[in-house]
Structure 1
Amino acid sequence: RKPQEQIPSDFNLVSEDVEFFSRRGDVKLSGWYLPGDDSGPHLIFVHGIGSVRSGDKAVGLAARIVGLGYNVLMFDLRGHGSSGGDKVSGGFYERSDVLGAFDYLLRRGVDIGRVGLMGFSMGAATSIMAAAQEPRITALAADSTYANASELIAREAARKTLIPGWLTPVFMPASKLIANGIYGIDIGSLVPEESVADLGYPVLVIHGTEDKRIPLEQGQRVAGAAKEGSSIWLVPEVDHLDAFLTHPDEYTERVDEYFSSRFR
């Protein structure tokens, strides 16, 4: 498994090692709780597939966010980092991990109306789908999300096998059957562009215009399906999850502006 890229002490952050179970109760998850202001909102950071809680400069972002008064919970999804489990499901089971993190914060006695999700790549898609199952979550920012998992998988399969793009839809039913038969995963249910429409509040979508892993149009579709008032920041000439790396000040400002508007 991938090791942690950075730790909170690298940024002089106070942190607490925490453990909690997925809402399904099947996997123990490990994370860091980073306290900001006692009265500040809480954000749950959700990393992408093959990454860890500290991946993609997330601790650097968390340091900036904590400096603005937020409290941050960062954790490793199942099958990643220090958490249990060995099955990675593209968001199908990970939804329950995010909800387990939410439940953990509630047990700490945090303000139930001031908890938001900050997701990255698969973690962004997972956050959207988790929020659709938990109405007490009232704010969400999604960096480089996918819109439809089976479509994305089929496109990737077609690309790697040099199948013409117009044949991509042929692979979609097959990819669903394989995932369901082998892993018990219903890929057809992983459609954040549908889940986001069920949220009763506007969201923030961030996507690099040169994203080679998850096409820009996937993020645009999610933003287009979201509640009126949602916004999308299209970051010019930026690849997958590189928006914070290349524009750290603007990234922090936009994220803070969004969550401040939700929690005022």
Structure 2
Amino acid sequence: MKKIGWKKVIVILAAFFVVFQIAGSFFFYNLAIKRGPKDFLTGNADLKVSAETMDVFLNGDWLDWVDKQKFEEKHMTSRDGLDLMGYYLPAKQPSEKLVILTHGYLGHAKQMGLYGQYYYEELGYNIFMPNARGHGKSGGDYYGFGWPDRLDLIDWTKLLTGKIGTNTQVIYHGLSMGAATVLMASGEDLPKQVKAIIADSPYQSVYQLFAYQLNRMFHLPAFPLLDNMSLLTSTRAGYSLKEADALSAVQRATVPILYIHGNADTFVPTEMTKELYEKTRSKAELFLVDDANHGEAFVMDQEAYERKVDDFLKTHLPTSNLSIDLSR
């Protein structure tokens, strides 16, 4: 009788474990990957920024600047049939320099106007700000966390340079998920026009990021829950959490990369960027900002941030007077 009792207990526990894993996979997929509101991030202490930064985010003059610009809406069909869109703004004076600014998780294209204003007003660049799949006016019922987005970025580059000329010099500048996107793209066969990459607050892989947050927010181990969720993500969104790997990509990179991160970042640990920097195959630079939390570096030390970006671009971009006209 005791043996039968123990067998039943084992079976019940095993069944409970399986049900928990399946239910957990769907729960966390819906929580993080499926398109929609993400209330679980509201009040997250790891995303708390300084009062100064919050004021800039909510009331900065860059918002008025964005509102006043006459952006051209650009549309593109992704390789898997999604309608993607972004905003293009030609430079005041003809320029061959184009920066593509990629936003973070749950953000939208025009939020990158915080950086776009600098590129446009101070550096005289043409700027393009795409909405990642699942964000803003772009299609998609899931978030790609940079992996399918890396191919979208490359296709945007080909579309834009096809219109503005083969001598275009393209910079990728991404924030958070957008930073992971540009780094994941670095491992691909990039269009020859891409000359440099700037990654602000990137993570290494989606699996690693989720493992860190799963432990920090829910006090749960990564295995086997994330592995099962990865299978679900592969089925529903077309990518696995482990293949979405920026660390592997930068080991194949051929263009110079500037890494930027806040030393006080607890949402995406600074150590992730340090290891990315150390493992990068191409020329790389690292710029850390003291007391800056996730995505705060630009606001916390804007002067030093802009100076570092300016020096990096001057070092790695040749000068030319080629004119660009995207109105064609």
When the two structures are superposed, what TM-score results if normalisation uses the length of structure 2?
0.71
- Counterpart in the other structure of 1:153: 210
Q: Which amino acid aligns with 1:64?
A: Y
Counterpart among 76, 81, 84 of residue 136 in structure 2: 81
- Counterpart in the other structure of 2:104: 48
Matched residue SS, 2:242: helix
Q: Deviations over 1:20-69 (max 9, x none)?
A: 225415122222212224233111001111001122xx213211111212
Q: Which runs of 5+ in 1 are unaligned?
A: none
Residues 98 and 130 of structure 1 are in contact (CA less than 8 Å); yes or no, is this contact kept in structure 2? yes
- Counterpart in the other structure of 2:52: none
- Counterpart in the other structure of 2:41: none
Counterpart among 219, 222, 225 of residue 273 in structure 2: 219
Alignment of 1:193-212 (within 5 A): 193-212=247-266
Q: Which runs of 5+ in 2 are unaligned?
A: 1-35, 38-57, 319-328
CA deviation after TM superposition for structure 1 residue 158, in Å: 2.1
Q: Which amino acid aligns with 2:154?
A: L
1-structure distance, mates of 2:168, 2:149: 23
Deviates more, 1:40-49 or 1:169-178: 169-178
- Counterpart in the other structure of 2:294: 240
Could you say if the C-alpha distance between residues 182 and 135 of structure 1 is closer, same or farther in structure 2, counting changes exceeding 3 Å? Answer: closer
- The answer to which structure has the higher helix fraction is 2
The reply to whether residue 180 of structure 1 matches residue 234 of structure 2 is: yes
Q: Give the root-mean-square deviation of aligned CA atoms.
A: 2.5
- Counterpart in the other structure of 1:256: 310
Deviates more, 1:105-114 or 1:243-252: 105-114
The reply to whether residue 39 of structure 1 matches residue 90 of structure 2 is: no
CA deviation after TM superposition for structure 1 residue 257, in Å: 1.7
- Counterpart in the other structure of 1:128: 183
- Counterpart in the other structure of 1:141: 198
2-structure distance, mates of 1:21, 1:147: 28
CA deviation after TM superposition for structure 1 residue 110, in Å: 3.4
Q: Deviations over 1:53-88 (max 9, x none)?
A: 122xx2132111112121110121111112222221
Deviates more, 1:73-82 or 1:221-230: 221-230
Residues 14 and 35 of structure 1 are in contact (CA less than 8 Å); yes or no, is this contact kept in structure 2? no
Q: Identical aligned pairs, as a percentage?
A: 25
Residues 186 and 255 of structure 2 are in contact (CA less than 8 Å); yes or no, is this contact kept in structure 1? no
When the two structures are superposed, what TM-score results if normalisation uses the length of structure 1?
0.87
Q: Which amino acid aligns with 1:45?
A: L
CA deviation after TM superposition for structure 1 residue 259, in Å: 1.9
The reply to whether residue 102 of structure 1 matches residue 157 of structure 2 is: yes
CA deviation after TM superposition for structure 1 residue 14, in Å: 4.2
Counterpart among 126, 133, 139 of residue 71 in structure 1: 126
2-structure distance, mates of 1:122, 1:64: 21
Deviates more, 1:32-41 or 1:65-74: 32-41
CA deviation after TM superposition for structure 1 residue 159, in Å: 2.1
Residues 8 and 15 of structure 1 are in contact (CA less than 8 Å); yes or no, is this contact kept in structure 2? no
1-structure distance, mates of 2:120, 2:241: 35
Deviates more, 1:142-151 or 1:127-136: 127-136
Q: Deviations over 1:172-214 (max 9, x none)?
A: 5334233224433222111111101211132100000111211
Residues 92 and 186 of structure 1 are in contact (CA less than 8 Å); yes or no, is this contact kept in structure 2? no
